[in-house]
Chains A and B, each alone.
Chain A
Amino acid sequence: MLSNRIRLIFNMVTLMLLSFALMSCTPENPQSTFDTHGPISEIQKNLFLFTFWIAVIVFIVVEGAIIFVTFKYRRKNDDLPAQIHGNLRLEITWTIIPAIIIVIIAIPTVFGIWETQVMPDEEDAITINAVGHQWWFEFKYPSEEIVTANELHLPQDKNVIVNIESQDVLHSFWIPKLAGKVDMVPNHENKLWFRADNPGVYYGQCAEFCGIVHAMMRFRVVVHTEEGYQNWLEGMRTPPKTISNGSDEDEGRKLFVGNCSMCHTNDSYKKAAYHKEINSQYNRWEEWKKDKENSAIVSAPNLTHFGSRLTVASGIKENNYENVVKWIENPDSITIGTRMKNHASIYNSDKKLTDQEIQQIAKYLLSLKPDNDSMASYNQE
């Protein structure tokens, strides 16, 4: 009777494992670590799979032995089994076998550590500064003097060195399909390098618990062909389309200047705007630190060419009119706990914007993109 029960358990476990196996193997998921598009994530995946298959063998041996033992040696009669206390030769064998397995795993691992963590030559790499903020990512291109937020643009087949830091609490910089994570730590500068082999849009997400909006702190990486990347850089230095006087966009511009521009810069396409933005961002931070409860100023994403971005609200929603209106109207409807909702004066009752004003701002923001929208080339996805 008992053996039937065990068989039942065994069958159920097999069934469960099979159904789990069906759930897995989903490289098409946006953050699957199995669908790798660059050497770093490739090394990480291969090391995992190498260890995994060794673990599978050990798993089968151990679990097989458990199942064998429970069937073979269940109590059939009152006879005492042989009273064996141990066997030195066996003990030594199964001390040495795991040691050998460990050595087999350790060798490629150590090579992997140095391959992935020693930075490539800076000469033929792009250097990016990534800064974590509660709760958005700032990306700076020091050699290009370009700054953007929540969307990282890169060329394919080029080594990228990312200097990683944080302004406030711990965050983590992670693009599962391109590279494993490195934490963003205040007062420490970390480095990560990777290379993207294929153009496309990749998902990134903060992986270190950073407070109330942690779950919603995401970003996108857009990998271009070399030509597309140059177009993007060019676009980032080009002023946006001119807007006609008196249009909704123009009204929106005025409202933006009056209500949003203290924290959000949107004209970093100008010459020398890069250093100005770094200073402004620093000053906003210092301002906020003075009175964290009531400060009307906080660090906020740069909105230059916002209209060309893929997402709104740190990689949460598709960047379209409807979502931008929703976001400005009430950030809580998309993400609870944002600094914008807590600090911007437009959410105080006396300065509340009308629906029309919000729509005008949204139209203005979406109009922020260069005239010939070469940046939209990747939008086909």
Chain B
Amino acid sequence: MSSILGPKQFQIPRIFPRPMSHSGIWYWLGTVDHKKIGTMYGIVSFFWFIMGGIEALLIRVQLSQAENDIISPELYNQLFTMHGTTMVFLVVMPLSAAFFNWLIPLQIGARDVAFPRLNALSLWVFIFGSILMNISWFTGEAPNGGWFGYPPNSTIQFNPGNGMTFWVLGLNVLGVASIAAGLNFIVTIINMRAPGMTMMRMPVFTWMTFITSILIVLALPILGVAGIQMTGDRVYGTNFFNSEAGGDPIFWQHIFWLFGHPEVYILILPAMGIVSEILPTFARKPLFGYTFIVFSGAIIGFMGWFVWSHHMFTVGLGPAANTAFTLSTMLIAIPTGVKIFNWLATLWGGSIKFTTAMLFSIGFIAMFTIGGLSGVTHAVSPSDAQQQDTYYVVAHFHYVLFGGAIFAIFGGLYFWWPKFTGYMLNERLGILNFIIMMIGFNLQFAPMHWLGLDGMPRRIYTYAENMGWELSNLAATVGGFLIAFSVLIFIINVFISRRNKKLASGDPWDARTLEWSISSPPPHYNFVNIPQVEHIDDWWYKKYPELLEGSPKQTKSAKATVEDTSNVDESKIHLPDLSYYPLFVGIGLSIAALGVIYSYALVTIGLILVFWGCIGWSTEPVNEPHEKHH
């Protein structure tokens, strides 16, 4: 073992002993296990999902009738700002990260991600960054400039107070988490695949994670730059966006959307990956056109860089720019269409079992199609001049992000829940969850299409009676509460599952990819033996090798079984020990960011924690030598 550790190296003195136990709070704080980290990502972002949902419900209550005054305009502005920010940065991104963490090592046949401690760092930076951003609710000045933070309305000149400073610092901290995680998964996917798993044998979810991670690594630094400029403007008196001093508000829009549009694909590509795993499993057919699905995902990710100004058709870029961005935006419809047709072809001729996961996936295709089609109507920039900043846009992106991303995430939760926890979720409740969410979702967001076409702008806290918007708004509010009810059913389902403890087998769905070849939940080392991969959907063909020969009517009994872990000598499996340094760095970053608002003393304390954490981290051995007795 000493050869792995190398010569005795310098180590800074420890103030706390390195946690060694494999249970209890200290284990969770120090864990570097991708599965535990995935679980924590999931729990924390689900908490923010509920918070963002409550914000949405308050918005809906206020808009349910004309000239309502339940919520003040100031609070309303804070609610829609934080609803958008929360749902994008604290819900869909980290919920996707929960799936990345749980599934990538399992799908590629690895014991962990490439940099387990960096992975823990991403988690802690995300958690404390999300808290940092929401502390603002308690100081009474939550961000109120919109999730897009357009200056000059977000500048210190027009928006004094700390609200938008919390927002921009929170985004910067969260960006660190995302970039670190993105790099981690790129390296993991490139380097840690099991022998035989070529790129074109990777599961589609792994592929989409790979593309998403590249987008994260390229897009989030842009937001970081914009965020630092805005922090400079708000805190240190720079004038990047201060129009009074000649700064340019349009400049912010360009960099924000140069980040913001790839961000849209960061949110939706993982969902497409999830759906691409669920559909073949329950149709008992291979994914139709694997290569086309993978490459259209890559093309979407690539072309996502050339369309940012379609968020800016009305800022006066002139007809030439509007023409260019109209055409580039329309082009994205092609790879998106290809994906939808391939999913349909996967179902076509299949033997479809309507589990909850499958219903959510089919719901995803149905709803995402609507979002995609309304997206094409936006691309037509002359008519977008009527739609821009109206509820039509709100309808469009909720069909993509809720009907798309959230539906797929719920599908993924129902699909992988047995793998994550070892227990089955109740299918009857699951189907009820789906039906109510589907109805509530459409009741909430479909009427917004005509609200927008009927001239209702976004971000207005109230509207006059004679505008004719009341009925649709009331319907939307009812829909919002139906969605909340469906989420409640999911939570109940989780608790029932924990109480009933209906054990899941390693492969309860007769599924296709490697994560199903090990027990549920997987042991902390994942695979007893690293698998040798020979095909796409390797586990499926290991079970039914006769399918490689032809197309028989029936499978014979499975040739492969889930790995048995009863006689494993765990000491032979090399895994890193726990580390609390990532936690230090994570806390330190957020404290330092908070210090930018309140005091340099906090900045100093935060940075000391960061540096201490970094040095401790880089000098601690992967494993404590005395751990290994053999």
Q: How far is the CB of B348 from chain A (nearest CB, A)?
A: 6
CB distance B316 to A185 under 8 Å? Answer: yes
- Mask, B495-526, CB within 8 Å of A = 1, is 00000000000000000000000000000000
Query: Which size class do B's interface residues fall under?
Result: 35 or more
A44-66 contacts to B, CB under 8 A, are 44-45, 47-48, 51-52, 55, 58-59, 62-63, 65-66
B468 touches A73 (CB 8 A): no
Q: A79 to chain B: which residues have CB within 8 Å?
A: 351, 553-554
**Is A43 an interface residue when CB atoms closer than 8 A count as contact?**
yes
For residue B460, which residue of chain A has the nearest CB? A215
Identify B382's interface contact among A29, A43, A69, A207, CB under 8 A: A43
Cβ of B315: which chain A residues have Cβ within 8 Å of it? 183, 185, 188, 190
Contacts of B250 in A (CB 8 A): 185, 188
* Interface contact B152-A168, CB-CB below 8 Å: yes
* Residues on B with beta carbons closer than 8 Å to the beta carbon of A66: 344, 347, 362, 365-366
Task: Tell me the minimal C-beta distance from A362 to chain B in angstroms.
Answer: 22
Set B334, B340, B385: member contacting A116, Cβ < 8 A:
B385
CA distance A316 to B366 in the complex (A): 40
Q: How distant is the Cα of A115 from the Cα of B331 in the complex, in angstroms?
A: 22
Which residues from B are CB-within-8-Å of A26?
450, 454, 468
Does B249 reach chain A (CB closer than 8 Å)? yes
In chain B between 294 and 333, which residues have their CB closer than 8 angstroms to a CB of chain A? 314-316, 318-319, 322-323, 326-327, 330-331, 333
Tell whether B187 is near chain A: CB-to-CB under 8 Å.
no
Known contacts A32-B454, A55-B376, A169-B153: does B248 contact A187 (CB below 8 Å)?
Answer: yes
B160, B243, B288, B431: the one contacting A84 at CB < 8 Å is B288
Task: Decide yes or no: A82 and B349 within 8 Å by CB, A91-B292, A95-B334, A337-B73 being known contacts.
Answer: yes
User: Are A180 and B454 in contact (CB-based, < 8 A)?
Assistant: no
CB distance from B42 to the nearest CB of A (A): 28
Name the residue on A nearest B318 (C-beta).
A117
Query: What's the least CB distance linking A175 to chain B, in Å?
Result: 10
Asked if A24 CB lies within 8 Å of chain B CBs, one says yes
CB-defined interface of B378-391 with A at 8 Å, one 1/0 digit per residue? 01111111111110
- Please, which residue of chain B has its CB at the minimum distance from the CB of A13? B442
Stretch at the interface among A105-113, A122-130, A348-356, A372-380: A105-113
Residues of A within 8 A of B340 (CB): 62
CB <8 Å contact, A33 and B386? yes
Q: Give the residues in chain B near A182, CB-CB below 8 Å.
A: 314, 316, 385
A9 in the interface (beta carbon within 8 A): yes
Bound-state Cα–Cα, A81 to B551, Å: 8
Residue of chain B at shortest CB distance from A92: B292
B454 touches A94 (CB 8 A): no
Residues of A within 8 A of B348 (CB): 65, 69, 73
B74 at the interface (CB under 8 A from A): yes
Is B77 interfacial (CB-CB < 8 Å)? Answer: yes
Q: Are B377 and A48 in contact (CB under 8 A)?
A: yes
Point out the residues of chain B lying under 8 angstroms from A105, CB to CB: 330, 376, 379-380
DSSP class of A's interface residues: helix, strand, loop or mixed?
A: mixed
Are A44 and B351 in contact, CB atoms less than 8 angstroms apart? Answer: no
A208 within 8 A of B: yes
Across the interface, name the chain A residue whose C-beta is closest to B459: A209
Q: Determine the residue in chain A with the shortest Cβ distance to B552.
A: A80
- CB-CB under 8 A from B374, the residues of chain A are 55
* CB <8 Å contact, A75 and B319: no
Contacts of B248 in A (CB 8 A): 187
In the bound complex, how far is the Cα of B209 from the Cα of A292, in angstroms?
A: 48
Q: Are the C-beta atoms of B380 and A316 separated by less than 8 Å? A: no
CA–CA, A65 and B366, complex, Å: 10
Contact of A59 (CB < 8 Å), options: B73, B159, B373, B443: B373
Q: A118-B319, A214-B459 are in contact. List 8 more A-B contacts (CB 8 A).
A: A30-B466, A31-B454, A51-B383, A73-B349, A102-B330, A109-B379, A114-B323, A183-B314
- What are 16 A-B contacts defined by CB distance under 8 Å? A29-B467, A32-B455, A33-B454, A45-B386, A66-B366, A69-B348, A80-B284, A86-B292, A98-B338, A116-B382, A169-B152, A169-B158, A170-B249, A180-B384, A181-B389, A209-B389
Which chain B residues have a beta carbon within 8 Å of chain A's beta carbons? 72-74, 77, 145-146, 150-153, 157-160, 243-244, 246, 248-250, 283-286, 288-292, 314-316, 318-319, 322-323, 326-327, 330-331, 333-334, 337-338, 340-342, 344-345, 347-354, 362, 365-366, 369-370, 373-374, 376-377, 379-390, 431, 435, 438-439, 442-443, 446-447, 450, 453-464, 466-469, 471-472, 475, 547, 551-555
